[in-house]
Chains A and B, each alone.
Chain A
């Protein structure tokens, strides 16, 4: 099963999409008390945007890390071109 490592990366991408949307809707969206002032509202909005960026970054970092690991292990064992 040569494609198994790539299928695993694909499965991790799928799981992360599902898990991160779950985290987004159960933790990020209802975060904090209902804001009453503009300052509270802005702070909460900025915090939520920061957390969304963190979730996005996590997706990229995990998949980039897995891919680099896969490429490094394969390139090390790959035959070099003769030319």
Chain B
């Protein structure tokens, strides 16, 4: 049974970030426009100007939600998630303002992982050093190896999210769907494993709330871009929640489209290259106003290019296709969670 305070924290964890962001977005976007903080929406013809970065407001929403959980459940789990996300947010904000190199960003993002795992000093139960697999059960705990992998997960996942942030609504849909799959996994674990704290379920709710509210402003045609401060923060929060929730395998499967996207890009451009410095573009806008896949031999194989190779599309159709791929991955993720915790 949960207390009334924990129940209130559950509701606030989802509702506070969601309604706070919906309420604050209009004035925040007006302020960004007044300050000249706008980015060109390159996939519109003619290009339009969109306020950016929304990352600071998104991070504020996440902190409010996690703070409610920390107070209600008296746990440091949400603080650790917010700490990791906060470092990634700060790195992203620097990148939004000054543009960091293709190799500098992943290296700096290790700091987000270190900030997260260092909280284990204050709360030793922050994460368990064993991994649960579908049907097979759990491994023996290996604290050092698990901690190293947890730190390494932050740059990998944050960059994977960052690379899914190219079109109107892509990152907000992706974060919302994957965080819902994560929530399903952690909820199943809480329901079927005795002794697993429901505070870890509550900790995943702020990410769902933030992504849901952001979708209202980021969907096609976008009224706000999150910037790297938003996308890296989303990725780091997701990584932290997967580790504290102990649903690593289901989390990996939910973000398979982003992993494939990063893997395709890295293998085709042979290394870490800042997207603004790629020699050849993966896509282009044709005279018909549609997005086309580049047929150049050295064009990077991004997920977007692979989708556009099926046929030329409008931006809205393209994002719908990526959302469909993400939704299927999330179904696989939930199936993995069911196989892990129910059977």
A7 touches B309 (CB 8 A): no
**CB neighbors of A among B310-343 (8 A):** 310-311, 321, 324-325, 328-329, 332, 336
Most B CB atoms within 10 A — which of A6, A25, A82? A6
The CA of A64 and the CA of B301, in the complex, are separated in Å by: 10
The CA of A67 and the CA of B324, in the complex, are separated in Å by: 18
Q: Does B267 contact A (CB under 8 A)?
A: yes
Q: Name the B residues within 8 Å of A18 (CB-CB).
A: 134, 336
Q: Shortest distance in angstroms between A76's beta carbon and chain B's nearest beta carbon?
A: 9
Interface size class for chain B? 20 to 34
Q: Does A42 contact B (CB under 8 A)?
A: no
A7 touches B306 (CB 8 A): no
The CA of A3 and the CA of B252, in the complex, are separated in Å by: 21
Q: Name the B residues within 8 Å of A17 (CB-CB).
A: 249, 252-253, 256
Q: Shortest distance in angstroms between B225's beta carbon and chain A's nearest beta carbon?
A: 26
A71 touches B301 (CB 8 A): yes
**CB neighbors of B among A1-55 (8 A):** 2-3, 5-7, 9-11, 13-14, 17-18, 21-22, 25-26, 29
Q: Which of B253, B309, B321 contacts A14 (CB 8 A)?
A: B253
Q: Shortest distance in angstroms between A4's beta carbon and chain B's nearest beta carbon?
A: 9
B309 touches A75 (CB 8 A): yes
Q: Shortest distance in angstroms between B294's beta carbon and chain A's nearest beta carbon?
A: 8
**CB neighbors of A among B268-318 (8 A):** 284, 286-287, 292-293, 295, 301, 306-307, 309-311
Which residue on chain A has the smallest CB distance to residue B257? A10
Which residue on chain A has the smallest CB distance to residue B137? A25
B310 touches A3 (CB 8 A): yes
A80 touches B332 (CB 8 A): no
Q: Name the A residues within 8 Å of B252 (CB-CB).
A: 17
Q: Which of B253, B293, B307 contacts A6 (CB 8 A)?
A: B307
Chain A interface residue count, Cβ-Cβ cutoff 8 angstroms: 29
B325 touches A6 (CB 8 A): yes
The CA of A29 and the CA of B140, in the complex, are separated in Å by: 10
Q: Shortest distance in angstroms between B285's beta carbon and chain A's nearest beta carbon?
A: 11
A25 touches B321 (CB 8 A): no
Q: Does B263 contact A (CB under 8 A)?
A: yes
A3 touches B325 (CB 8 A): yes
Q: Name the A residues within 8 Å of B94 (CB-CB).
A: none
Q: Name the A residues within 8 Å of B307 (CB-CB).
A: 3, 6
Q: Name the B residues within 8 Å of A75 (CB-CB).
A: 295, 309
B295 touches A7 (CB 8 A): no
Q: Name the A residues within 8 Å of B336 (CB-CB).
A: 14, 18
Q: Does B144 contact A (CB under 8 A)?
A: no
Which residue on chain A has the smallest CB distance to residue B333? A14
Q: Which of B249, B287, B295, B332 contacts A78 (CB 8 A)?
A: B295
| 12 residue pairs from A and B, CB less than 8 Å apart | A2-B311, A2-B321, A3-B307, A3-B324, A5-B310, A6-B306, A10-B260, A13-B259, A17-B249, A63-B260, A70-B309, A78-B293
Apart from A3-B321, A74-B309, what 16 extra A-B contacts exist at CB < 8 Å? A6-B310, A10-B328, A10-B332, A11-B332, A13-B256, A14-B329, A22-B136, A25-B139, A26-B136, A60-B263, A63-B263, A64-B263, A67-B306, A70-B309, A71-B306, A78-B309
